[in-house]
Amino acid sequence: MNAEPGFFEAFYAGPLQHPWLLWLAVALGLVLALAQTRLPASVRRYCVLLAALAATDAWLTADHVFGVGALSGPAASLLPLTFVLLGDFRYLLLVTSGRADGRIEVDRRGLAIAAALTLVVPLVTQGVMTLVPESAGSARVMFAVYEVGFLAVAFVLLRVHPNVRANPWVRSVTQFVMLYYALWAAADMVILSTGSDLGYMLRVIPNLLYYGGLIAAIALFAPNVRDDAVAGT
């Protein structure tokens, strides 16, 4: 029989954290982003799009989806996976499309590269999990492998991708993404190594950074541009 969840684990899985606290993070992130009046229109549109994506993610990936109930069948696994991939893609698209002048210019090549990079970590994670003994192959282990894998990808991008290396804006956002992935990995290590549900409380911090903080970071780290340049984008 499974043990009853601890206080922090219950809070983590409950509606107060997911979706309400995450929705609050999305709203605050968008407010901070749109308060930056010297942003190009392309960045403002991107932040609004990310807010809509994050709010939908927080709604549809909760244990109990408001207006729908608990998901079952293929949707219970496919929807969370889809939002994980989209969550990584939104950052990777900035890597390929964020320009040094503060604009976001998406083209087919950038889309294709971002999509390919998005698939790297899930594919590697699946490969690693085939090597993990069945007795140790829990979902939490898979999460930890994924998080460490994405940290590795971001670190490599930081060192070798020309746009990340040369563009301070994209480099700063990359470091922000690495921060919340490192916190997720650390929290899962606490859960796996100690069994303490304090790890779930620690996971709340990167959740907030992921859902709302990234929206604000993209805007706050973006370079200032001239008023006429903002008006023309």
117 within some domain:
yes
Q: What is the pLDDT of residue 233?
A: 52
- DSSP helix/strand/coil, 138: coil
The per-residue pLDDT for range 111-126, each reduced to its tens digit, is 999 999 999 999 999 9
In a domain, 233, yes or no: no
The tally of domains found in the chain comes to 1
**This prediction's pTM:** 0.93
- What pLDDT is attached to residue 213? 98
Tokens standing for residue 134:
């069945």
Q: Note down the domain range covering 207.
A: 7-224
Q: Where are the alpha helices (DSSP H) in 19-138?
A: 22-34, 41-60, 75-97, 108-129
Q: What are phi and psi of 146, to 5 degrees?
A: -60, -45
Q: Is residue 2 part of a domain?
A: no
Residue 80 lies in a domain: yes
pLDDT digits (tens, 9 = 90+) for 39-71: 999 999 999 999 999 999 999 999 889 888 888
* Residue-wise pLDDT tens digits, 81-109: 999 999 999 999 999 999 999 999 999 99
Two tokens, residue 51:
């807010």
pLDDT band at 226 (very low <50, low <70, confident <90, very high): low
Give the residue from 51, 80, 52 showing the smallest Cα distance to 65: 80
Q: What is the pLDDT of residue 69?
A: 82
**Cα dist. 132→24, 129, 146 in Å?**
37, 5, 13
Instruction: Give the end-to-end CA distance of the chain in Å, rounded to a whole number.
Output: 59
Within 13 A of 76's CA, how many CA atoms are on the CB side?
7
Instruction: Report the candidate in 203, 148, 210 with the shortest Cα–Cα distance to residue 173.
Output: 210
Task: Give yes or no for residue 5 having a pLDDT over 90.
Answer: no
Whether 29 is in a domain gets the answer yes
Higher pLDDT, 12 or 5: 12
Is position 196 within any domain? Answer: yes
Arithmetic mean of pLDDT, 142-164: 97
Q: Is residue 166 predicted with pLDDT exceeding 90?
A: yes
- Residue 81: other Cβ atoms inside 10 A: 11
Residue 232 lies in a domain: no
Tens digit of pLDDT for each residue in 173-223?
A: 999 999 999 999 999 999 999 989 999 999 999 999 999 999 999 999 999
Whichever domain contains 38, its CATH number is 1.20.1070
Distance separating alpha carbons of residues 180 and 111, to the nearest angstrom: 24
Domain presence at residue 128: yes
